[in-house]
Amino acid sequence: MKSFEFLKMHGLGNDFVIFDNNENIEEIKNKKTLKKIGSRNFGIGCDQILIIESNNFKEAKVTIFNNDGLEAGACGNGVRCVASYLMNKGNTKNIKIKTISGNLDCWIENNNCFVNMGKPLFKWTQIPLAKKVESQIIKIDQFELYCLSMGNPHGVIFFEDEDELHKVDIESVGKKIQSNDIFPESINVEFACILKDKTIRMKVWERGVGRTLACGSGACATLVAAQHKNLSQRKNDIILDGGKLTINWLENEDIIMSGEVKLVFKGNFYCD
């Protein structure tokens, strides 16, 4: 029986299994193995699995998988966790994380880990959608989704207030929206409202994962959608089920995300 060393980390309860193991990358990437790792009953349990494929403490290549075994393009909280681990290991304050969706600069300030998530993408081919539309708004049943990409597809729904937000059956609505033919690669669905202090409350249904306590790329998408709808300034706090992220959409269009990350435990995963 083989075993692989791993780390368990989280950003606001958005939890990750991280492998820093160059020798067994292809074995870990097996879809059956990934699904077992991600299972909260038969494996370690997590929202996403991140594999550090190379690292010289200046830049690292990372592959990201959802817990259903399918590769993901972006994961802001997961990237921050990997960056925090590698910066601590290398005794440095900044690092570049290379993913299939782009290269992300990360750094540490005041015990928070920051990541530059890059620029949001708005073209229907970039999100992607199955057909050309005239605006960012896609209407499905009574819901209006503001659609964009943060390296992965997002649809943000705004509600009048927190009471309306809490009434939504996020699982049933999220699943129905994700299965709509307009989204050929499925979509992450964010449910949001503006609070009395002008911060943003957000819940999320992630593709390939389901309900999660936080979603970094989803928080970025929600801030962009809120700003475009004149509901928020370009910098704001996003309050998620697991805690708070600060999102800053710079004038050059780059989006900076910051918040806490935690190392939970280290261990060995045993695989037949």
DSSP per residue, the chain: -EEEEEEEEEETTEEEEEE--GGGHHHHT-HHHHHHHH-TTTS---SEEEEEEEE-SSEEEEEEEETTS-EES--HHHHHHHHHHHHHHHT-SEEEEEETTEEEEEEEETTEEEEE----B-STTTTT-SS--SSSEEEETTEEEEEEESSSEEEEEE-SSHHHHHHS-HHHHHHHHHTSTT-TT--EEEEEEE-TTS-EEEEEEETTTEEES--HHHHHHHHHHHHHTTSS-SEEEEEETTEEEEEEE-TTS-EEEEE--EEEEEEEEEE-
Q: Which of 81, 113, 193, 215 is labelled catalytic? A: 215
Q: Which of 75, 81, 147, 220 is labelled catalytic? A: 75
Is 147 a residue of the active site? Answer: no
Residues marked active site are found at 75, 215
